[in-house]
Amino acid sequence: MPDAVEQGLEEGNASMVWPIVVLSLPGEEVRRRPLLTALARFALDYEVFLGVDGRNGLSACWERDIDRSAARFNIGRDLTDGEFACALSHREIYRKIERKGWQGAVVLEDDAIIDRRFADFVRGELFRRADLIMLDHSKAYVRSKELDIMKGVTMRRLALASYLTTGYSISAAGARSLLASSRPVSATADWPGDIVSLGAMALEPRIVDHPDKFTGTSHLRDARVKIVSGHGGKRGSAKRRRATTYWKRWLIKRLSSKIS
pLDDT tens digit sequence for 28-70: 999 999 999 999 999 999 999 999 999 999 999 999 999 999 9
**Lowest model confidence (mean pLDDT) among 134-138, 157-161, 172-176, 227-231:** 227-231
Give the integer Cα–Cα distance in Å for 142 and 206.
14
Nearest CA-CA partner of 191 in 150, 138, 227, 241:
138
3-state secondary structure of 257: strand
More confident position, 9 or 248: 248
**185 or 12, which is more confident:** 185
Average pLDDT of span 87-97: 98
Q: Is the pLDDT of residue 227 over 60?
A: no
Q: What is the pLDDT of residue 245?
A: 81
Mind giving me the DSSP string for 43-58?
T---EEEE----BTB-
What average pLDDT is seen over the chain? 88
Question: Is the pLDDT score of 228 beyond 90?
Answer: no
Work out how many domains the chain is built from and give that number: 1
- Write the burial class of residue 167 (CB in 10 Å: 0-12 exposed, 13-18 middle, 19+ buried): buried
CB 189 within 8 A of CB 87: yes
The pLDDT of residue 17 = 86
Q: Is 159 a residue whose pLDDT tops 90?
A: yes
CA-based angle 19:23:24, to the nearest 5? Answer: 140
Structure confidence by residue, pLDDT tens digits, 103-148: 999 999 999 999 999 999 999 999 999 999 999 999 999 998 899 9
Q: Is 87 left (phi over 0), alpha (psi -120 to 50) or beta?
A: alpha
Q: Is the pLDDT of residue 156 over 70?
A: yes
CATH code: domain of residue 64: 3.90.550
220 pLDDT band, cuts 50/70/90, is low
Domain that holds residue 226: 4-258
- What is the structure's pLDDT at 216? 58
Name the strand (E) or helix (H) holding 23: strand 20-24
User: Looking at the predicted structure, is the pLDDT value of residue 149 above 50?
Assistant: yes
- pLDDT class of 12 with cuts at 50, 70, 90: very low
How much is the pTM?
Answer: 0.87
Residue 9: predicted pLDDT? 45
Q: State the pLDDT confidence band at 218, using cuts at 50, 70 and 90.
A: low
**156 within 8 A of 172, measured Cβ to Cβ:** no
Separation of first and last alpha carbons in the chain:
38
